[in-house]
Chains A and B, each alone.
Chain A
Amino acid sequence: MAEKRERYQNRIELLQGTLDLLILQTLQWGPQHGYGISVAIRNRSGELLQVDTGSLYPALHRLEKQKWIKAEWRISENKQRAKFYQLTAAGKKQLTKERSKWSQLSDAIAGVLNPEQR
């Protein structure tokens, strides 16, 4: 059991920055519940990114704890009670920061991968 947990935790770590960014970005289009977020990420990535629930929920709870998102129980479009997350002001700022960090990172990686284009 412990071993499996470790595997999950490793994956979270691997994805950490990126997953946080994806969640924050998804929530920018409006409040969404956990399932909605995973579907949105899958769809927008052209089915490429499958967000594991074992990574998604810890990330959501962690972001909530950091007060970048806040949660609220609402009734979903198909008449179900669900926990909706939405961005806070701090979360919006964080999103800007993460985005610029990401573009720096991808530029940097691109630079490394294609040095001649510089």
Chain B
Amino acid sequence: MRFWRRKKREAELDEELRSHLEMAKQERVEGGDTVDEAERAARREFGNIELVKEVTRGAWGWRCLEEFVEDARYGLRRMRKSPGFTAIAVLTLALGIGANTAIFSLVNGILLVSLPYPNPERLVSVTGAYPKGAIVAMREQVHTMDVGAYDEGQELNLTGLGEPVRLNGTLVSAELFSILGARPELGRTFYPGEDVPGQDNFVILSHALWEQRFGGDASILGRSIELGGVNRLVIGVMPAEFRFPSTKTQVWIPLHNDLRNAVSFWAGDFMPGIGRLRPGSTIQQAQTEIRMFQSHVGALFPWPMPASWNANASAVPLQIGMVADVRARLLILLGAVATVLMIACSNVANLTLSRAATREKEISIRSALGAGRQRITRQLLTESVLQALFGGLLGLAFAKEGLVLLKSVLPTDTPRLAEVHIDWRVLVFTGTLAILTGVVFGLAPALHSARAALTEALKSGGRGTSASVSQRLRSSLAIAQVAFAVLLVIAAGLMIRSFWALSHVDAGFRPEHILTARITPNESFCSDSKRCLTFYRSVLEQVRAFPGTSAAALVNTLPLGGRVSKRSLDVEDHEVPPGEDVPLFWLNVVTPEYFRVMGIRLLSGRGFTDSDVSGALVAVVTAETAQRFWPNQGAVGKHIRLLDDKDWRTIVGVIPDVRAYDLQRNVPDWIGGTAYVPYTPAAALEDRRIPAEMTIAIRTASDDSQIAATLRNSVADLNQEVPVSEVKTMSTVVSEAVSTPASTTVLLVAFAALALVLGTIGIYGVLSFLVSNRTREIGIRMALGAQRGDVLWSVMGEGAKLSLAGIGLGMASAFAVMRALSGELYGVGATDPLTFCGVAILVAVVAMTACYVPARRAMRVDPVVALRHE
């Protein structure tokens, strides 16, 4: 539009001036001149038409824009003329900008975009973990906000509709949906009060589940479905965009706030609180109130609570609370890609500088013709920005692909991952980044060239004697590149070391050739413990008969599963004084063959046998537990007693520490020890019932998928209502346990490799340029008798100086920066000297290899040719 108007104006100006000339000429003709004379005189009087045009255009006030367009056109022409240079520069920038765009999309989608609820800034996450009773108390006592709670990860069987399936549910307080301000797609959400026994037999479905299992049929509303053995009325369906607390949730079920059941009310699952600030309240007031609440809530419990429980509880914005775990990791990645971009920038700046040297003549001619220094700088900058914009465009394409890759590399439980996409914020980010990048890498070369323009180049006939200043600039850039690369490679090195340590942790079992699956009857099925145990005995018998199966066992919670049952225990020789806590243990319930199937060694005593199932009460403890309670005397023969049991259990064996919860071995300090008991009617958990949901571990020799299918059939034959889920090998369980550090490591290694390659190219480029610039000098030296070796070493020495400076700088900054990484590291310090030294050597070797190529070229300089070249 604007462009066309301008074209028209240009044409009008042309015509206006021509008519002026024509009139002047005609008047002269009328005055008696010949046409030729008249024309010449008119022109002479008029002056330089183009110049008049230009100054007139100046009056339009568009000069700036026009110059920019001119510069851009010129820049494009130049880019077309040197496709090789342009391709390398654009590609380098595209890699840098693309990586930044992809990671920024994550940061944007996960950390920055506000939560998709009305007035999201009023939503608050109450940090800490509370049982239902404390949540109910909080709801009554806290006045700065409306309080609710949610308990993710509740698994439930959906039965009565063909094959039974296991669903992921979230228990919610009745107020949760109104606190979030979330509206259903169909039906309604919970009303206040619909989370107490007798009034809570409702369920809300997720859109996905509604589509998959109920064919998207609206008549599901008002019908009952059987969930976990309980009939629940479907009252609503949430829209597909509603993903609270995560995409995993398929059903929302009211919390069962049963005041009469003190154990479930005060000791059941602990969950986080959520709140919406009431009008007029601030988050600071909410924080104060939560801290006050925390100071006296302990007294409400039917038993004493340790002072350390929720000691740091506070209120934070929900947006921050929900993503607290990934925040640090995302910022580390963002730092890494920013570093890659810095290297890319220095690289292109270097390329541009070496080209600037060959362009000096062109620039000095332009300067001699009257282009001001500012104008030249602006023109060169326009070129760089153009390149960067192209890089940005290509980078955006990279980022689009990269994001798909990133999403597959990142652990699936990363919060809000599904919401991540390239939106306008990302586009603005990329655009700004591209322009900034262009300015950053273009500014130094542009200023430098413009300054050097007139003074030197013309005098020297275009041989580029301003090279010494340029060389200093280029050297600094190369040092910076090496330093940045060292920084990233150290980060990657630490992550690799940490990951290696984690993967080589002795988890206490041998994961090879084990297939696992969850078998999950409803709780009610096991209220009759005999029925339950008979069912499982039949399952085991059938499985052992499978071809290719050598052994099978059951456990209530698999190692590394992220959940372990807890149970308070009396411990022999450790009587607890009145008023103090009985130690809380991690309690595993297993069938006798479990240790053998899992390859868990016995350190002393024996494992369980079939006779333990019916005989005297026994237990096995881990080495750490034994050491803690009976140091230096051995645990075998000692006794423990599940709280509220009459009879003591004899400890018959000690096993090594099995990583029950996770590989990093995050054992909370309030867990006193770990015990194993046989799966018998006496193996009651905290709710005084034997576990209903068990995991089967099968030692196999044959095709796993074959066995999985047979297992499903056998269980279905025994009981139609019992779903088999999460069929996976134990090796998969282990690799899932390291998926988070694995993804961070993979990404950091990729970025570090990129950094190293770019940094190496940088050093190589600087030295090559140095050598080609010094060909004459080298020739003279050789003519004067310098040995080839001397030349080689002088160039190598130059390279070594740059590399060492870069490595030193990189290590120093790494020393300062790596602390940010320490939260992600396992088994290695953030300033691990081995990693630092290893990386220094690695980078030095790579850099010296890069130096060797130009050094060899220098060595081969033929003095005769070099001097004749002059």
Interface string of B269-290 (1 = CB under 8 A from A): 0000000000000000000000
Among A8, A33, A52, A83, the residue within 8 A (CB) of B12 is A83
B19 at the interface (CB under 8 A from A): yes
A54 touches B47 (CB 8 A): yes
CB distance from A90 to the nearest CB of B (A): 18
The answer to whether B47 and A61 have CB atoms under 8 Å apart is: no
Q: Is A58 a contact partner of B59 (Cβ separation < 8 A)? A: yes
Cβ–Cβ < 8 Å partners of B54 in chain A: 5
List, in ascending order, chain A residues with CB within 8 A of B68's CB. Answer: none
Could you tell me if B23 and A62 are in contact, using CB atoms closer than 8 angstroms? no
Residue among B16, B17, B26, B54 with most chain A CB within 10 A:
B16
Please, which residue of chain B has its CB at the minimum distance from the CB of A54? Answer: B52
A2, A35, A76, A83: most-surrounded residue (chain B CB, <10 A): A35
- Contact (Cβ within 8 A) B55 A76: no
Chain A residues within 8 Å of B47, by CB: 52-54
* Contacting residues of chain B (14-54) with chain A, CB-CB under 8 angstroms: 15-17, 19-20, 22-24, 26-27, 46-48, 51-52, 54
Tell me, yes or no, whether A22 is within 8 Å of chain B by CB: no
Question: Closest chain A residue to B60 by CB distance?
Answer: A61
Chain B residues whose C-beta falls within 8 Å of the C-beta of A54 in the assembled complex: 47-48, 51-52, 55
Q: Tell me whether B61 is interfacial, beta carbon within 8 Å.
A: yes
Is there an interface contact between B23 and A5, defined as CB atoms closer than 8 Å?
A: no
B307 / chain A contacts, CB cutoff of 8 Å: none
Least distance between B41 CB and chain A CB atoms (Å)? 14
B369 CB within 8 Å of chain A = yes
Q: In the complex the two chains form, is A35's CB within 8 Å of B19's CB?
A: yes
Residue in B15, B22, B24, B369 whose CB lies within 8 Å of A1 = B369
Known: A33-B19, A35-B24, A53-B47. A3 touches B370 (CB 8 A): yes
**Out of A33, A57, A80, which one reaches B56, CB within 8 Å?**
A57
- Is A80 a contact of B22 with CB atoms below 8 Å? yes
CB–CB A35/B370 < 8 A: no
Tell whether, in the assembled complex, residue A35 and residue B20 are in contact, meaning their CB atoms are under 8 Å apart: yes
Q: Are A82 and B370 in contact (CB under 8 A)?
A: no
Q: A1-B370, A2-B371, A35-B24 in contact; A65/B59 too (CB < 8 A)?
A: yes
Residue A4 CB within 8 A of the other chain:
yes
A62's closest neighbor in chain B, by CB? B59
The answer to whether B827 has its CB under 8 Å from any CB of chain A is: no
In the assembled complex, A9 has its CB within 8 A of some CB on chain B: yes
Task: Give the Cβ gap from B641 to chain A, nearest Cβ, in Å.
Answer: 97
Bound-complex Cα distance A80 to B16 (A): 11
Contact B20 A58 (CB under 8 A): no
Q: How many residues of A contact B (CB 8 A)?
A: 28
Distance in Å from the Cβ of B581 to the closest Cβ of chain A?
Answer: 85
Residues of B within 8 A of A39 (CB): 27
In contact, A12 and B55 (Cβ under 8 angstroms): yes
Inter-chain contact B51/A8, CB cutoff 8 Å: yes
Set of chain B residues within 8 Å of A4, measured between Cβ atoms: 48, 51
Bound form: Cα–Cα A61–B58 in Å: 9
Residue of B nearest to A1 (CB): B370
A34 near B: Cβ within 8 Å?
A: yes
Determine if A103 is an interface residue (Cβ-Cβ < 8 Å). no
| B865 CB, nearest partner CB in chain A, Å | 42
In the bound complex, residues from chain B placing their C-beta under 8 Å from that of A3 are: 370
Q: Which residue of B lies closest to A38 (CB)?
A: B20
Collect the chain B residues with CB atoms within 8 Å of residue A36's CB: 23
Within 8 A of B (CB), among A1-55: 1-5, 8-9, 12, 33-36, 39, 52-54
A118 within 8 A of B: no
Supply 19 further A-B pairs (C-beta < 8 A) apart from A5-B55, A57-B59, A83-B15.
A4-B51, A5-B54, A8-B51, A9-B55, A35-B19, A35-B24, A53-B46, A53-B52, A54-B55, A57-B13, A57-B17, A57-B56, A58-B55, A58-B58, A61-B56, A61-B60, A76-B19, A80-B22, A83-B19
Residues of B within 8 A of A (CB): 12-13, 15-17, 19-20, 22-24, 26-27, 46-48, 51-52, 54-56, 58-61, 369-372
Q: List 27 A-B contacts (CB under 8 A).
A: A2-B370, A5-B51, A5-B54, A8-B51, A8-B55, A33-B19, A33-B20, A34-B17, A35-B19, A35-B20, A35-B23, A36-B23, A53-B17, A53-B46, A54-B52, A57-B16, A57-B17, A57-B56, A61-B56, A65-B59, A78-B23, A78-B26, A80-B19, A80-B22, A81-B15, A82-B16, A83-B12
